[in-house]
Amino acid sequence: MLKQFYFFCFLIGMTHLSQAQHLQLMENRGEIGLFAGQSSYRGDIAPDNFKFYNSYGAFYKKNFNDYGGVRLNYEKIRIGSEDSLSMNPYAIQRNFFFSRDFHDISLLGEFNFTRFLPGNKSYRFTPYLGIGVGYLFETKASNFGMDSLSTILRPLQIDSVIFPIVGSSKGVVYLPVQIGFKYNLTRRWNFFAEAMYRFALSDELDFFSDGQFMVQTQKLATGSDVYKYQGSRSGKDQFFSVKGGISYNLIKIYGEEKWKPGKRSLMNRLKGEETGQAKPGFFSRLKFKRK
């Protein structure tokens, strides 16, 4: 008898729980996430080769609805390259190299291609697109240099002592375009992978701007050879990063609407009006004509 009573209480509790879940309203207010990946650069030094460095960061996203929101990114990023990695004979002869470390902060509008509802199996996956603006803060002294292909050609003399010519500001503004996909693992957790391509509003990420000349004099036993190197005409520098990570959904769940004395909810009021209407009976449907 006692077991039957416990079983009956269990059924009552499960029925009440299912009704409460049905009355719950879930709102996905945003996300916080962590990611890691690799970054690379494309510019004047070794333009036909991509050298990758590790990167990592975090983000916060504020959702406007199930399709989009605003996202704030932070990424610790490093870019660099070496002419010695190029297949271009001109770049190999020039043999420049550089590396720079940045704090990367960007603000993007992010838009889902499909509706995204955490916890719903029908809407748990979406590709997305992000567009915005970003800024790079240099974290430490940069490394720029040159070297010869053979130690026999040493020492090197640089006629232009002011090279590289770099602006006084160490920050760089850029325009990012981000594309990725996201998959909801549980109601709270997601997995995502994305790539961000950045169009820098500067041609001096590698310290070598368009039209800038570098004069290099090599002293040999037979005399001196002078080489002049010029930055390419490819325009502004660019760089990108590819990463993957996890994110946590900032979900708020609203429970059943509470009743207050003297005040009825809209749903209860509509139900009352619907049930309160008198239905015509059998005799009321009969119409008699008076003589």
Mean pLDDT of 251-276: 57
Give the side-chain half-sphere CA count within 13 A for 228: 3
Whole-number pLDDT of residue 269: 57
With respect to residue 100, please indicate whether it lies within any of the assigned structural domains.
yes
With respect to residue 228, please indicate whether it lies within any of the assigned structural domains.
yes
Q: What distance in Å separates the CA atoms of residue 190 and residue 128, rounded to the nearest whole number?
A: 14
Residue by residue, DSSP assigns 73-112 as: EEEEEEEEEEGGG-S-HHHHHH-EEEEEEEEEEEEEEEEE
pLDDT in tens, 237-252: 899 999 999 999 998 8
pLDDT in tens, 118-144: 988 899 999 999 999 999 998 876 666
Q: How far is CA 80 from the centre of its chain?
A: 22
Residue by residue, DSSP assigns 173-207 as: EEEEEEEEEEEESSSSEEEEEEEEEEEES-S-TTS
What CATH number does the domain containing 73 carry? Answer: 2.40.160.20
With respect to residue 59, please indicate whether it lies within any of the assigned structural domains.
yes
Q: Are 75 and 104 in contact (CB under 8 A)?
A: yes
pLDDT in tens, 16-68: 444 444 444 778 899 999 999 999 998 888 888 889 999 999 999 999 998 99
Antiparallel, parallel or unpaired: β 156-158 and 171-184: unpaired
With respect to residue 288, please indicate whether it lies within any of the assigned structural domains.
no
With respect to residue 143, please indicate whether it lies within any of the assigned structural domains.
yes
The overall pTM is greater than 0.75: no
Number of domains, the chain: 1
With respect to residue 277, please indicate whether it lies within any of the assigned structural domains.
no
Range of the domain at 182: 24-258
With respect to residue 156, please indicate whether it lies within any of the assigned structural domains.
yes
Q: What distance in Å separates the CA atoms of residue 169 and residue 61, rounded to the nearest whole number?
A: 29
